[in-house]
Amino acid sequence: MPKTALNSAIWYFSMILATACLVLANLVAVPGSWPPAGAVFLFGAHSALIYGMFSSIFSLLALSFSLNSVTGRPLTIITALAGASLLGTTLVLHHAAGPFASLDGVGAGAANAPAVAAAFLMLLRAFGVAILPPRGDRSGVAEAGWSVALAFSAAAASWLFAGPAAVPATLAATLLLAWPNLIDGINAFADKVFHTAALGSGARELAPGAFTRIARARDILIDKAAVMSGPDLMVTNVMAFNNEPKTLLAVAASAEAQSTHPVAHALRQLAAQWRVDLRLPDRFEPAPGLGVVALLGGQTVVIGTPDLLKTLRIDSFTADAIARSLEADGKTVLRVAVGGRVVGVLGLEGTLRQDAGVTGQALRQEGLVPWLACGDSPKTREALAGMLGLELPADPQPGDTVHEAAARFPAASAPLVLTLSGDRTRLELRGGSSGGDTPGTGTPPPLAVSDTDDIGAFPALKALAMRRNLLAVHARRLLRCLWAAAGIGGACALLPLAAAPVLFLACLAILWVFARFSVADTLKGAP
């Protein structure tokens, strides 16, 4: 049997047993009302405690096989501790008072109430985690703390005004009915309905929790490759200082003959058009983000940025003066040095996406500050950023990848990263944090993916993420009020423990109504 099927079978079996034990615990909680004659040996004084304990254990087992993510773990642990405390309370009351006796007026029925509440608490948590897998930024710990505070306040008031006999039942009912079993799963409903809208806006894939990460972000770092209409570059300028342009092109294209970089493809393509013969270099050393160093015909050939030439102590003052006008047009300018002396300049450019500038403006309207990650010279970066309406990072480093640039942002404001995939077939949106990196890649896994011609999907994702969070906020407020009212009703003995499943179903119905509303509202204008 496959592992997933085995886990499902164990989950169903555990939940059936937990439900059966809860029913039995509820039936024998009040002595004398049940069981039938002749079955007393199965339903003794401690039966409610025993069945409540078994129900809690089976529920806990089911929780271990359900989709209990890191987000849901804190509330599950606190629920288990609350259930164990209620079971312990019943055990203390029984041993202190004796079977079916009373301790300061606390009868056996009231003594059994905490055990039944514990069973309800654990079983509803198990169902809640399975139906709405915890997701988002709400752990439920704060809400659980308020439930505990309300329960103890109600117990104290019951002690003062109704006597000790009512304290166990009041404590159990208040804690159970005010417990936020579904608080960390609210976003699961929202994710389901907004996922459809995201696909309609151009997104192809969405990772679990993508909406939460996108909604939190305030900055987005856009790789230059993501705003180009294609991977191809075109050589627009071949400026030789002391030789023919064909000679300069032959040297540059031969030095790049073993490279797979788009610059190398552009040089080789122009060399073929000019019918320039190429040679293979004797040695080839790429400098990622900076250029290449090759040995050609016994001479060292360097093609790259001013930073690479500066590292190799090659003076590029004359080339820099010529390059400024090209860089002001947003072109990529490379210096070519042979034997330690700059002999020419190459200008290359790609085609910007027609919607790149509109996308930058759309991202700003959705509350994201768009930044440009570009490995070109400062002048080229400034020109491109001005054309696209993007911001420039204050401290770019030579040869930086987009993820290295994102890592220099403050940890509290880690940006989203929009880049082109390695195979150049799709656009990928990733979190700027390195947590949860894809094994072997050193980069975070994608939050969202779109086709290369659907860059507009990402402003739409931000808008959907913000609206989805707003939906979750309204649902959370309504459920908090409902749980508080139910807890007060339990404290006043207006609602019995058996009302907990009804309350649970009512909460699910509320979330379903919110989800249906969001579908109608969000998909109305979807293409």
Angle at 480 between CA 479 and CA 482, to 5 degrees: 60
Answer whether 96's CB lies under 8 Å from 32's CB. no
Residue 30: strand, helix, or coil: coil
Is pLDDT at 306 greater than 90 in this prediction? no
Q: Residue 379 — left, alpha, or beta (φ > 0 → left; ψ -120 to 50 → alpha)?
A: alpha
Choose between 243 and 497: higher pLDDT: 497
pLDDT band at 399 (very low <50, low <70, confident <90, very high): low
The predicted-structure confidence for 182-200, as pLDDT tens digits, reads as follows 888 887 777 777 787 788 7
Q: Which range among 397-406, 409-418, 462-471 shows the weakest confidence by mean pLDDT?
A: 397-406
Mean pLDDT of 159-181: 90
Question: Across all residues in the chain, what is the average pLDDT?
Answer: 82
Choose between 527 and 80: higher pLDDT: 80
Mean pLDDT of 462-490: 88
pLDDT the model gives residue 210: 84
pLDDT the model gives residue 133: 83
Q: Using CA atoms, how far apart are residues 338 and 344, in angstroms rounded to an integer?
A: 9
Tell me which residue of 289, 284, 245, 282 sits closest to 267, measured CA to CA: 245
Answer whether 504's CB lies under 8 Å from 512's CB. no
Mean pLDDT of 119-126: 94
Task: Return the bridge partners of 346, or none.
Answer: 238, 334
Distances (CA, A) of 302 to 81, 188, 309: 67, 55, 8
pLDDT band at 473 (very low <50, low <70, confident <90, very high): confident
Highest mean pLDDT among 267-276, 393-402, 420-429, 438-447: 267-276
Tell me which residue of 442, 446, 520, 428 sits closest to 209, measured CA to CA: 446
For β-strands 283-287 and 446-451, DSSP reports them as: unpaired
Residue 386: strand, helix, or coil: helix
pLDDT the model gives residue 97: 52
pLDDT band at 38 (very low <50, low <70, confident <90, very high): very low
pLDDT the model gives residue 86: 93
The predicted-structure confidence for 308-340, as pLDDT tens digits, reads as follows 888 899 988 888 888 888 888 888 889 999 999
Contacts of 38 (CB under 8 A, 6+ apart): none
Distances (CA, A) of 313 to 6, 287, 321, 376: 66, 15, 18, 19
Q: What is the DSSP letter of 432?
A: S
Answer whether 444's CB lies under 8 Å from 406's CB. no
Is pLDDT at 105 greater than 60 in this prediction? no
| Amino acid at site 405 | A
- Give the distance between the most distant pair of CA atoms in the chain: 112
Answer whether 430's CB lies under 8 Å from 419's CB. yes
Is pLDDT at 229 greater than 50 in this prediction? yes
pLDDT the model gives residue 20: 92
Q: Using CA atoms, how far apart are residues 148 and 107, in angstroms rounded to an integer?
A: 23
Q: Which range among 86-100, 174-188, 292-306 shows the weakest confidence by mean pLDDT?
A: 86-100
Alpha-carbon Rg for the chain, nearest whole angstrom, is 34
pLDDT the model gives residue 40: 43
Q: Enter the tokens of residue 173.
A: 């009912």
pLDDT the model gives residue 100: 38
pLDDT the model gives residue 467: 81
Answer whether 300's CB lies under 8 Å from 338's CB. yes
